[in-house]
Structure 1
Amino acid sequence: MSADQAYFQLADTARTGDGVVESFVATEHTASPWGAEMQHGGPVAGLLTRALEHHGARAHARLSRITIDLLGAVPLGTLRVRVAVLRPGRRIELLGAELEADVDGTWRPVARAQAWRLATQDTSGVVNDPFPHPVMPEHDVAGTDILPAAWQVAGFVPTLRWRAEEGLRANRGEPTTVWLHLTLPLVAGEPTSPLAAALTIADVANGVGARLDPSTHTFLNTEMTVHLYRPPSGEWFGLEAETAIGPDGVGLSQALMHDTLGPIGRISQSLLVEPRR
């Protein structure tokens, strides 16, 4: 697979007094359906999660909550990521990551992430799983068969492999369930971890649970928070997504996320809802 058959290419790794700074080039596969010159939030979330996951990784501890804040449109092109420990601790640790873009020769922040890393231990004897387990459809469904026409464009969304019993339109009050799989690596030349894959896919939730036609309205998410009570596994992830829309242009997307073993956590996204003009 060539380097451009990935969402990002690793361009450089440099050590500074604050730690490691990695530079990347975003490929065309990161593009958003809202605009060909801006990135979809999924690859951005995946890249920041990869950085957080790698930073100070150790046995018997894992990331449990990850929040991504999009500071504006993330352009295609050259990016760099830096990570810091914001609150050190043996049992509880808070990490922060910042994504910068090279805009006309000047680096500026375009996204930030924070994650809590918690110590792990054996609690298999007291597991409580109150959520239903949807069954993954056996058949494959091409994204263009179930996606609204406005999203059937080049970029990130068509790189996902989809499985669904129905299209994305669900009855009000009933979540839409879709299973998704990344067909490209997050970073060229390296395997994508289940955690990074899950966070890359998680940002699709507001589209999966959309209750507005993207040809008449936009519903951009400004942030995403993912709580994971079980570590993700495998390559397929299911989203049971629904969207609430308020009376003043603000919405909320929520989804229960699954891997093939069962539920793993919840996704929430704040939405800016606007009619197209």
Structure 2
Amino acid sequence: MPGVKGCYYRRLGTDGDYQIFDSTDYTRSNWDPEIQYGSPPLALLTKLIEELSADSGLRVGRLGLDILGAIPVRPVRVRAWVERPGSRVCMMVGEMSADRVVARVTAWLIAISDTTDAASDRYPPLAEGPAQPLPATFLGIGGYFDALHWRPQQADGAAAVSWFSPLAHIVDTDPTTALQRLAAVVDCANGVGAVLDPREFFFMNTDTVVHLHRLPTGSDFALRARASVGPDGVGVTTGQVFDRDGFIGTSAQPLLVQRR
């Protein structure tokens, strides 16, 4: 796997309840080089939520990223807090600001217990095959995709499949968890499941919601996704999420669809 040295964000300091981070080139979106792709903000705010929930006996069952405005590629302020406390079910929120609030992640955390004897997966594991060529519209665009190892798979059904591995740290050289690494790629489901030509249509997701019946492992993740487009400029991309061990959850993204 190719290696990239670097990170999505560099720590600059603190200001009260806020941590301040500079945004690197690896956060730049393919839609506009002046704004951030959705996955790095999700990964950073997931990191804050995991740090806040450490030793709580709870783990993330749902992550929901709401993009509240264009996220600029420049210093951002982030914070996290407990919105709804609880010993069995708890909601935590992470927020990113750049002059105003531009992104928010809402996480539901659920108490863990031993249900090994009852565990089940809805879908069988996916095996990675030979990588197919990247879509022409993604070649040489840089930014976020310079820190991503993307391996499209041979199409063999109604939904497309790609394997991804993030190649950058989330913050500086901080260790990253598997959940943070998944958060750093899961927004790509919109690209994997695209049914429109991006040279003719603009289809940007307003949010990304991920449900996880099992925490991810490792650094390699497969997204099997497909978009549906309505007659009035609104679409939805839905997908299934896998790691090397098998199916771990689902994703969904509503889309703003406009002709270029």
Out of 169, 178, 191, the position equivalent to 1:185 is: 169
2:35–2:72 CA contact under 8 A, matched in 1: yes
1:194 corresponds to: 178
Partner of 1:156, secondary structure, is helix
CA deviation string 1:56-98 (max 9, x = no partner): 3225310110111001110001001111111111111111111
- CA separation in 1, counterparts of 2:202 and 2:218? 32
Correspondence 1:157 to 2:145: yes
Supply the AA of the counterpart residue of 2:91: L
- CA separation in 1, counterparts of 2:53 and 2:165? 28
2:60–2:107 CA contact under 8 A, matched in 1: yes
How far apart are residue 163 of structure 1 and its match?
Answer: 2.4
2:201 corresponds to: 217
Out of 216, 240, 249, the position equivalent to 2:233 is: 249
CA RMSD of aligned residues (A): 1.8
Partner of 2:33, secondary structure, is strand
How far apart are residue 136 of structure 1 and its match?
Answer: 1.4
1:11 corresponds to: 12
Out of 89, 110, 119, the position equivalent to 2:86 is: 89
- CA separation in 1, counterparts of 2:142 and 2:242? 27
Alignment of 1:161-176 (within 5 A): 161-166=149-154, 170=155, 174-176=158-160
Supply the AA of the counterpart residue of 1:47: L
- CA separation in 2, counterparts of 1:183 and 1:8? 13
How far apart are residue 150 of structure 1 and its match?
Answer: 5.0
Supply the AA of the counterpart residue of 1:115: A
Change in 2 beyond 3 A, CA 1:48/1:218: same
- CA separation in 2, counterparts of 1:264 and 1:4? 28
2:63–2:106 CA contact under 8 A, matched in 1: yes
Partner of 2:185, secondary structure, is helix
- CA separation in 2, counterparts of 1:33 and 1:179? 19
- CA separation in 1, counterparts of 2:26 and 2:112? 35
- CA separation in 2, counterparts of 1:198 and 1:150? 20
Percent identity over paired residues: 36
CA deviation string 1:230-276 (max 9, x = no partner): 00110000000110000000000011000100011000000000111
Supply the AA of the counterpart residue of 1:60: G
Out of 104, 108, 111, the position equivalent to 1:112 is: 104
- CA separation in 2, counterparts of 1:151 and 1:67? 29
Question: TM-score, normalized by length of structure 1?
Answer: 0.88
- CA separation in 2, counterparts of 1:182 and 1:87? 31
1:267 corresponds to: 251
1:148 corresponds to: 136
**Any gaps of 5 or more consecutive residues in structure 2?**
none
Partner of 2:158, secondary structure, is coil
1:104 corresponds to: none
Partner of 1:99, secondary structure, is strand
Supply the AA of the counterpart residue of 2:190: N
2:242–2:248 CA contact under 8 A, matched in 1: yes
How far apart are residue 188 of structure 1 and its match?
Answer: 1.2
1:134 corresponds to: 126
How far apart are residue 186 of structure 1 and its match?
Answer: 1.2
